[in-house]
Amino acid sequence: MHRLLLCALLAAAPLAAQPRPFDLVIAGGRVIDPESGLDGIRWIGVTAGRITAISASPLRGRETLDAKGQIVAPGFIDLHAHGQQIAAARMQAFDGVTTALELEAGTLPVGKAYDAAAREGRPINYGFSAAWVFGRIAEKEQMEPDGAISYFQEAQRRTGWQHTIATADETRRIVSRVEQGLKEGALGIGILAGYAPGSGRKEHYEIAKLAKTWNVPTFTHVRHLSVIEPQSSFEAFQELVALAASTGAHMHISHLNSNSTRDIPAIAELIRGAQQRGLKITTEAYPYAAGSTVVGAEIFRGNWRERMGGAKASDLELAGVPFSDSTLTQAQAKTPGEWVVIHFMRPETSAADQAFLDQSVLFPGGAIASDGMPWTLQGKTILDDVWPLPTDAFAHPRSAGTFSRFLRDYVRERRKVELREGLRKVSLIPAQILEQSVPQMRQKGRLQVGKDADIVVFDLATFRDRATFTAPNATSVGMKHVVVNGVPVIRDAELIRSALPGKAIRRSVK
Ligand SMILES: [Zn+2]
């Protein structure tokens, strides 16, 4: 009887019935999925934030985004985004980023940071790791963290946390603060070892064991930056390899380029060897030969010029203006928390330096990640919903142009990597780095039916970065549409300011 009823219902349905339209259709673009290998002209149907159809023939949607002549790819995933404010996220959206995670530094208290972002709303997806260094500063300086990056800047005025060994009790308390962050849903553990290079080896061992217990990755800015031994970059990477080997923890290396600099040939071999022997080590890099950090950072103390292979004070810049020896000493004393740019190599004048940078950026299996910074105005972080940013707003240009720069320079202009592999490095690989411990990431980095509708539509022939060291406040151009959880945040190259569809990427709260 049931079968009869079904037949009757089917018979009653008009033969030419139109299927229900999709919420959104991305029409007729060259759809590339780095996982399945799909590369063809397709229509993508989106319903309730998910991809529900991928078709070689036209689909009908309540809203349609024209993608003819454009590349359609999974939204880019940035594992290293310190700029977690609305304005910083919008700058990244123009660069194709649909998920920007603060993993290298992280934050504490983790729940507070998630709550603040959710209250304000974000155009793209966001998330945090638990900050080991915040836990260390809290214990050593009796300064309670508040979930903001300004806490770390403020800590540059204190000197009790960078070069002191923690007692057994202090270590227990630091570990417990970090563990509390994991209980609150942090995506892993951020380890800014390079900012506290005198912290104990055993403390790092305890943190790596904690990561293994919780089955989450660590994201490490390694302890040293030096091309000469001892206390070299090579030695710092060896520590990370030892931690992966002895604890079984997944150790992710932040910005391979800026910690390896000209020693990348030896360091790349070290990492590859560890990976080949089955250790869980992953990495990322950004396509610039200049970093950005606080002027009071430990890497600019002592014989740092020699350790960076013959650097000068003028390799450091504040808002495009190079330092001299005396202005640098002054800034370190007076405004140690101020963000500056450091040119660690000079690829514009040295082919050898370009080759070193390329080796980091193209490290097999490595992700592209921006290390994007908060935008500042006269040294103060822009926290409010300001758009467009004032012309003198400042940040390292990677905060605006990392992904377009990588695709322009490495894929289109110098053809160092095929398009599909290039897209894999900005979407699928970062998703895979996280997905064992963060189930949400299994839904990202792919264009497949059932996956999240985080989608970018861009013109490969014109997609490019415009941000420079002297004029960083320039969005990338060539990104036609950017869709986050099924909602356009950029349509026809225009920002939709009211669109805040970004969701928290978070592990379950214990
Ligand atoms: Zn770093």
Q: What is the DSSP letter of 339?
A: E
Q: What is the spatial distance between Cα 485 and Cα 505, in angstroms, rounded to a whole number?
A: 12
174 forms beta bridges with none
pLDDT exceeds cutoff 80 at 14: no
Q: What is the pLDDT of residues 324-342, one digit of tens each?
A: 999 999 999 999 999 999 9
pLDDT exceeds cutoff 70 at 13: no
The pLDDT of residue 221 is 98
Q: Secondary structure of 40-82 in the HEC alphabet?
A: EEEEEEEECCEEEEEECCCCCEEEEEECCCCEEEECEEECEEC
Is residue 71 within 8 A of residue 460, CB to CB? The reply is yes
Could you tell me what percent of the chain has a pLDDT over 90? 95
Q: What is the pLDDT of residues 134-175, one digit of tens each?
A: 999 999 999 999 999 899 999 999 999 999 999 999 999 999
Q: What is the pLDDT of residues 246-291, one digit of tens each?
A: 999 999 999 999 999 999 999 999 999 999 999 999 999 999 999 9
Kindly give the distance from the C-alpha atom of residue 52 to the centroid of ligand 1, in angstroms, as a whole number: 38
Instruction: Name, in order, each residue with C-beta under 8 angstroms of 184's C-beta and a sequence gap of 6 or more.
Output: 109, 110, 111, 114, 130, 509
Q: pTM of the full predicted structure?
A: 0.95
CA neighbor of 291 nearest in space, from 443, 414, 469: 469
Kindly give the distance from the C-alpha atom of residue 332 to the centroid of ligand 1, in angstroms, as a whole number: 18
Kindly give the distance from the C-alpha atom of residue 104 to the centroid of ligand 1, in angstroms, as a whole number: 7
pLDDT exceeds cutoff 60 at 3: no
Kindly give the distance from the C-alpha atom of residue 366 to the centroid of ligand 1, in angstroms, as a whole number: 16
Kindly give the distance from the C-alpha atom of residue 255 to the centroid of ligand 1, in angstroms, as a whole number: 7
Torsion, CA 317, CA 319, CA 320, CA 322, rounded to 10: -30
Kindly give the distance from the C-alpha atom of residue 292 to the centroid of ligand 1, in angstroms, as a whole number: 8
Q: What is the mean pLDDT of the chain?
A: 95
Tell me which CATH code domain 77-439 carries. 3.20.20.140
The pLDDT of residue 467 is 98
Q: What is the spatial distance between Cα 462 and Cα 32, in angstroms, rounded to a whole number?
A: 18
Rounded mean pLDDT of 297-323?
94
Kindly give the distance from the C-alpha atom of residue 218 to the centroid of ligand 1, in angstroms, as a whole number: 13
Domain ranges of the chain: 77-439
Is residue 360 within 8 A of residue 257, CB to CB? The reply is yes
Bin 102: left if φ > 0, else alpha if -120 < ψ < 50, else beta: beta
CA neighbor of 73 nearest in space, from 102, 95, 48: 95
Kindly give the distance from the C-alpha atom of residue 487 to the centroid of ligand 1, in angstroms, as a whole number: 32
CA neighbor of 292 nearest in space, from 399, 415, 208, 154: 399
Let me know the angle formed at the C-alpha of 188 by 294 and 106, rounded to the nearest 5 degrees.
25
Tokens 């010029």 belong to residue = 305
Q: pLDDT band at 18, cuts 50/70/90?
A: low
Kindly give the distance from the C-alpha atom of residue 259 to the centroid of ligand 1, in angstroms, as a whole number: 8
Please give the helix or strand (H or E) that residue 331 lies within, else none. helix 325-334
The pLDDT of residue 16 is 54
Q: What is the spatial distance between Cα 187 and Cα 452, in angstroms, rounded to a whole number?
A: 19
Q: What is the spatial distance between Cα 465 and Cα 407, in angstroms, rounded to a whole number?
A: 9
Residue type, 36: S
pLDDT exceeds cutoff 80 at 19: no
CA neighbor of 81 nearest in space, from 337, 379, 402, 300: 402
Q: pLDDT band at 319, cuts 50/70/90?
A: confident
Kindly give the distance from the C-alpha atom of residue 154 to the centroid of ligand 1, in angstroms, as a whole number: 17
pLDDT exceeds cutoff 50 at 445: yes
Q: What is the pLDDT of residues 343-401, one digit of tens each?
A: 999 999 999 999 999 999 999 999 999 999 999 998 899 999 999 999 999 999 999 99
